[in-house]
Structure 1
C-alpha cells in the first residue's frame, strides 16, 4: 500500500528518518536516507545524506536549490515536503524478515523505484506566473531521499520504504528550482500504490511464489500465507480497526478526517528493542500459529516454474476480461471474440498486439472511462486495467497498448484543460454530431414563454414561501434563458452543488403550468367553436434541455449560456 503525508518540520524529519531504523536498535536494512530522483541529480545531491544536508534541503536553504539572484530570507510558510511510504504486503515481509528470503527485499526496492519513477515522470508539476497568469508546468523531476525500514510501531515485521519528497523541482524554462504542486501526487496516490503492487506481484511471481489477490481492496498476499496467520502479525492494523469500530458504534458513520484522527490518536511510541530480540519473538509467534516461513521460502526457491495467480474466480463471472466488461455494461452478447468489432479497442487492428492480456485489460480501462467522460487521462485507464488484471500485469504493458491505439488513431490527444488528457475517435464523432444538432436547432423551436411572462413567473416564485425553490441571480438568469430561448437545445453549466437541479425544477414547473393553461384554454375554445383543427402547441414537444458535463465559472451558481 501507499500512504502520503505532509512533513511538518524539516528539523524533526532529519532526525526521524535519518536514524538507522527508527523503531529498533541494532543493524538496519539500509542506514540513513539516500538521495534519489532526477531533481536530486540536478542539484548535485548524491549518496547517503547527512542530517544537516537533509535538513537544509527540506527547509529550502540548500545552496543548490536557492535562486542566486534573490537574497536568502527565511520563509516561515515554507512547506518542507511529503512522505510517500510504500509498504510491502504482510506475507512478503514475513517471508523476507522471518523466512530469510533476501530476494524479496530486492523485489520491493525495484517496485518502489518503478512507482517513484512513474510519479516523477507524470506528477512532478510546478506553477509558473507569466503575464499575470498562473499556469502549471510538468517538470518530470523530483528531489527526494529514500530510507528503508522493517518494523511497525507495534513491533511486527513490516517492510516499508519512506520516500521523502522535498518541496523543490527544477523548472528548465527558468533554470530555477520551484515549489512542487502536490495536488497531482495526492490525486494519483491510489494509482501509484497500484503501480507498486503490480510491479511487486510480477517480481514475486518470478521468484516462484503463488499469489492471492483481494480484488475489492486491490491488494495481494503470497498464497501460502493464510489470513488467520497474517492477522497475528498485524497488531497495529487490528488496533486501528477496533478503534474505528468503537467510534462507529458511538457516532455512526465517520468522515475520512475522523478516521485519520483515530489512526494518529492511538499511535504507539517508537520501540527500543534489539533486532535479534524482535526476530526471536516473530519466530515464536509464527510457531504458535503453525506458520513455517522457512518451508514456504524453500518451496519457492526450489520451484522450477514461476508462481501463479491462484485467486478464486468471482462467482458468476467469466475469467475473460472482455466478457466481464460486457456483463457489467450490458451492451454485448454473452460470447465475445476479443478480436471482433464489438470490442473497438481490443481487436481489429492493422498491427494487433500479441499481448492479449494487456490488450484486453487496456480495452476494459478505456471502455469504463468513456462511459462517463469524453476526456480522461491515461492514468485512469492504467488504474482500471491494473485493477481488473491478474497478477503479473504491469504499467508498461498497459502503456504499450495505449501507444498502439494512439498510433492507429483510436485514441486521440485531448485539449490541455485536463493534463495528459486523451479521448477516443468515437467520442469525437459523438461530440461533432451533438454540435451539428445544436447548430441545426438554433431558432428552430417555439419559446416556452415570452420575456414578460417568464419574468412574471420567476418573480412570483421568488416571493413564494415554497422551500427549496428560491433562485439566486445566476439561477434566475439561467431559468429565464431556458424559458425564453427560441433554440431547440440550451446548455447550462455550473459547479456540482451550484443549484442546477433546483433551477430545472423551476423551469419544469413553468412549462407544466403553461401546458395546463393551454389545455384549459383549448377545452373552452372547443366548447364554444367545436373542433376546427389542431392549433399550435404552446409548449412544443420537441424541446430539449442539454446539461453538458463541464465546469463553468462562478462557484455556487448556475450560469445560463
Structure 2
C-alpha cells in the first residue's frame, strides 16, 4: 500500500481473530545464523508480560517502577492511575506506594478488604512450588527508536507530550476489551466490563543508558462487573487479541502529532515507522542493549549450532533475562545528556535538531480516495480467511462514512460483506434444492462385508439410500469413516458412472492412495480441469477443510453435469484456512440429514498388552468420546484422573516432554508432538533434537543446510511492500512463464502491476493474478544429521518420479556432499528443494488426519490459540495414550472450553439454524440487495417442500 495510507487503517487488517492475531509471533521466529537485519532488535511496540509472584511484583515496583531514570533538583518521577476501574476504587491521580502494594495483595486500597475472590494459589511440580495467581499484567508501550532520539537527545519535549497523549488514546481503546468470566447455570463465557485498574510509569532510558522512551502500563488482575455488582478477576484474552489494533492506534496518534511537528514519516514492513532523517546508524548506535543481546545470541549459536532453529524471540528474551544488569537510578540528567551528546558529532546533533519545524494545525480530513483504497485492501485481506470480522464502527464512519456491510443489530462490532453472504446462501440454497430430488446412490443394498461392523454397514446402507444431490457423511476422529467411504466408492464403481475421489490437501490424497481409493486428486486440481462425466459422482474426503469459494465452485461444477456430491468430514475438527466453513453451513442451514458414525475405533482396548494398559486405553477413549460430544470439561477431568496431564514449570516443560519422547522412542512407539503455536513448536523441536543428540540417537556430524521457511501471507499482503523484509525469497509452487515449480527467486520490489523478482540473473514481473502461485519465504540455516526428522512444507515432484507433499513428516538417512538429502524411504530431496522445518513437533492443524501410538501435547498457555477444536484434534491422534505438559492446569482446563468455530455470515445475518421457517423480513431482503434476495427466495421456495418431506426422508434413511 502507498505510504500515505495512515497506520490506523492498517490496524483493521492486522486486528484479526485468533489465528491471525498470533501471526506476528510466527514472524519473530528466526533460526538463521546470519541474523536478517529486519529481525535484529525486533520488538513489539506493545509487549505483554504476566506477573505471578507477589514477592517479585512488590520488588518490581520498588526497583523499577517507583523511581525514574534520572533526577533533577531532587525530583523523582511518579506513576499515574488510569482507567474506569481506578476511578471506581477512588484512587487519586498519582500512584502511592501503599495503594499499589494493596492491589498486589488483592486488597481494596481504601477498605483493605479482599478485592476479588481468589487470593493466593500455587501449583506443585514434584517438590517445586510455582505461584499461579496473576497479580498484574505489564503492557509496555515504546515508540520507534528514532522518536526516542529526537525526544531525548534532540530535546524536542513536544514528542514526550505526544507519547503520553497517544498512550492515553490507545489505552482508552484497550480498556474497551476488558472482560471477566461468567460462570452461571453451567455456562462459562465472558462478559465485557470495559474497565481496568492501571498504573502508568514512564521511563526514558534502557539498561544500557541509551535513550529509550517507554511507559509501563501495569494492569491489575481485577475488573468491576456491574451486572453482578462485584470485583472479579480480569480476563485479558480479548485485550491480548486486540494488542495489534491498540498498537496501531498508538502509532497513528503519535505519527499524527509528529507530522504536525514537521517530521516526515517512513512506514516499515513490520507495521511500525521511523522518522525520516534519523540515520539507521544512529539508531543502532543508541540500541546497545539490543546489540548486547544479539552479540550474546551469536556467541551462543556458535557454541551450540543445534539451537539455530530455536525460536528467535524466545532465545533473545531468555538471554535478556539471564544477562540483565541492575538498572542504574538517580543519574543526573546533565550526565545523561553528556553521555548521549558524546556519541554524536556536532553535525549529527545539529541535523537531528533541524528536522523539527514549528507546530502547525492539522485537520482530521483525509483523502477519501486513499481511505477507500485502504479499506478495500483491508477487506480483501480479512475476508480472505474470515466470514465475519470485527469492525470499529465509529472509526470507519468518521473516516469514510457508512460502509455497505451486513450487520446484526445485537452485535454491531461484527460485520460481513454481501459477497461472502451470497456465497454461503448459494451453497445452502443449492443443497436444499437438491433434497430428495435424485435416485438412490445405490440401486440395491450393499452386500455384507466382514471388514465392517454393524454400525459401519448401517451407515453404508444409509449412504446408498440417499436421494439428495449433496449427501453428508459425518464421523468423529477415529470412527472409521475411511473404511465405509472406500466400500461406498467400490459399490459405486460397480454401478457404472465414473466416481471421482477428492481431498483438499495433497497429503490427504496420498493417504487415500495408500488406502486403495481409485485415482484420488486434490479439489484444486479437479476444479482446474473440471473433468467430470455426465451423472458422475464426486466423493470428497475431509470436506470440512473446504472453504466457501471452493465449495461453491465444486457444487456448481457437479450440478452442471447433473452429478452427485458426497461430502465426508467432521466439523468438530479444524476447518478450512479460507473464509467460511462450508460444511458447517450445509449441516446447520441446508436441512440435510448427515449419515453419522459415532463409535470410536482408534482407541481400541484390544491393542493392550496388559490389564493395566487396557484400563488406560479404555479411559483414554472415554476422554475422546467426551470431547467429541462437546463435554470438554469432563474430557479434561478424565485425562487428569488417569494422570495424563502433567503440571510442570514453564522452563522445565520442554525437558520433561523430551524425556518422555525418548522413553517412547526407545520402546518402539510412534509418537507425534503437538502444540498450539509455531512459537512453542520451535521451542519443543529444539529441545527434543538436543535430547536425541545427547543420547547418541542422531548422527555425530551436523551439516548446516540452507532452508526456506514459508511466511503465511494473504493475497493482499503479498501486494504490500511492507510484507517483504530484507533477504526475502520467492518460491514458485506452480509454473509461471517459463519457470517450473520449485524455482527460487530473490524479491526485488513491489510494482503497481505485480512483484518484481530476480530469477537466474533475469528480472521477472509476477502478475497480481499469479500471486496464489508463489510462496514468500525467509532463509534460515538448519543443522541436519542422520536420523533427523523434517516436516516438508511444499508439494513437489522429485527427479525420478517420486513426490513429496506439504505437511509430510520424513526422516533423514544422510546428507550428501552435494547438499542433497536422502530420506529413510529412499527418496532424495535435491539441493533445489529447501522448503522444510524440523518435524519433531507440529501444530494441531498439522496433526489432523494422523494416527500414532502416543501423543505428547506441549501447552503454550496462549489462550487465543486454544479451543475445543484444537483440544479434540490433539487428544484424538493416539491409539494408546497421551501425555499433556502444562505450566497451568486450571488455565488449560478453562481454555479448552472456548469455541473454535468461526462465525458464518449466515449466522450474523440472522438466519436461523435448522429452523422450520425463515425469520427474515422484506426490509432485510431489500437491505441485502437484489442478488441475495433472489437466492433467499430460492431457499424459501424449496423450504416448504423440504419440510413436508422431512418425515418421509427420515423413514427412507432409517
Q: TM exceeds 0.5? A: yes
Separation in 2, partners of 1:204, 1:81: 32
Separation in 2, partners of 1:477, 1:182: 48
Separation in 2, partners of 1:278, 1:194: 31
CA contact (8 A) 2:143 2:214 kept: yes
CA contact (8 A) 1:96 1:105 kept: yes
Separation in 2, partners of 1:279, 1:24: 12
1:106 aligns to 2:161 (yes or no): yes
CA contact (8 A) 2:148 2:211 kept: yes
Change (3 A) 1:231 1:505: farther
Structure (1 or 2) with the greater strand fraction: 2
1:267 aligns to 2:324 (yes or no): yes
Deviations along 1:15-42, one digit per CA (max 9) or x if unpaired, are 4345577574534997122111111111
Structure (1 or 2) with the greater helix fraction: 1
Offset at residue 536 of structure 1 (A):
8.2
Offset at residue 535 of structure 1 (A):
12
The structure 2 residue matched to 1:412, chosen from 407, 413, 416, is 407
1:342 is matched with which residue?
none
The structure 1 residue matched to 2:307, chosen from 225, 230, 251, is 251
Aligned residue runs from structure 1 range 107-506, under 5 A: 107-121=162-176, 123-214=177-268, 216-244=269-297, 246-247=300-301, 249-255=305-311, 257-258=314-315, 260-272=317-329, 274-275=331-332, 276-287=334-345, 292-302=348-358, 355-378=368-391, 397-398=395-396, 400-401=398-399, 404-405=402-403, 409-413=404-408, 420-445=413-438, 453=446, 456=449, 459=452, 485-490=466-471
Offset at residue 158 of structure 1 (A):
0.2
Report the count of equivalent residues: 464
Offset at residue 359 of structure 1 (A):
2.8
CA contact (8 A) 2:452 2:483 kept: no
Separation in 2, partners of 1:521, 1:368: 39
Unpaired runs of at least 5, structure 1 = 307-352, 383-395, 461-472, 523-533
Superposition CA RMSD, Å: 4.4
Deviations along 1:211-249, one digit per CA (max 9) or x if unpaired, are 1121x2111111011112211111122233344555494
Does the residue aligned with 2:204 lie in a helix, a strand or coil?
strand
Unpaired runs of at least 5, structure 2 = 1-44, 123-131, 500-532, 539-561, 570-574, 585-627, 631-867, 878-900, 902-913, 915-958
The structure 2 residue matched to 1:92, chosen from 147, 152, 159, is 147
Does the residue aligned with 1:159 lie in a helix, a strand or coil?
strand
Deviations along 1:353-395, one digit per CA (max 9) or x if unpaired, are 973322322222123222222111126xx9xxxxxxxxxxxxx
1:31 aligns to 2:77 (yes or no): yes
1:81 aligns to 2:136 (yes or no): yes
Offset at residue 431 of structure 1 (A):
2.3
Separation in 2, partners of 1:102, 1:434: 59
1:48 aligns to 2:105 (yes or no): no
CA contact (8 A) 1:413 1:423 kept: no
TM-score by length of 2: 0.43
Separation in 1, partners of 2:116, 2:98: 23
1:543 aligns to 2:599 (yes or no): no
Separation in 1, partners of 2:458, 2:255: 56
Change (3 A) 1:499 1:358: farther
- Relative to structure 2, which stretch is displaced further, 536-545 or 53-62? 536-545
Separation in 1, partners of 2:498, 2:261: 82
Does the residue aligned with 1:358 lie in a helix, a strand or coil?
helix
Does the residue aligned with 2:195 lie in a helix, a strand or coil?
coil
Offset at residue 47 of structure 1 (A):
1.4
Separation in 1, partners of 2:284, 2:407: 47
2:591 is matched with which residue?
none
Change (3 A) 1:213 1:113: same
Change (3 A) 1:20 1:81: closer
Offset at residue 145 of structure 1 (A):
0.9
CA contact (8 A) 1:476 1:503 kept: no
CA contact (8 A) 2:67 2:78 kept: no
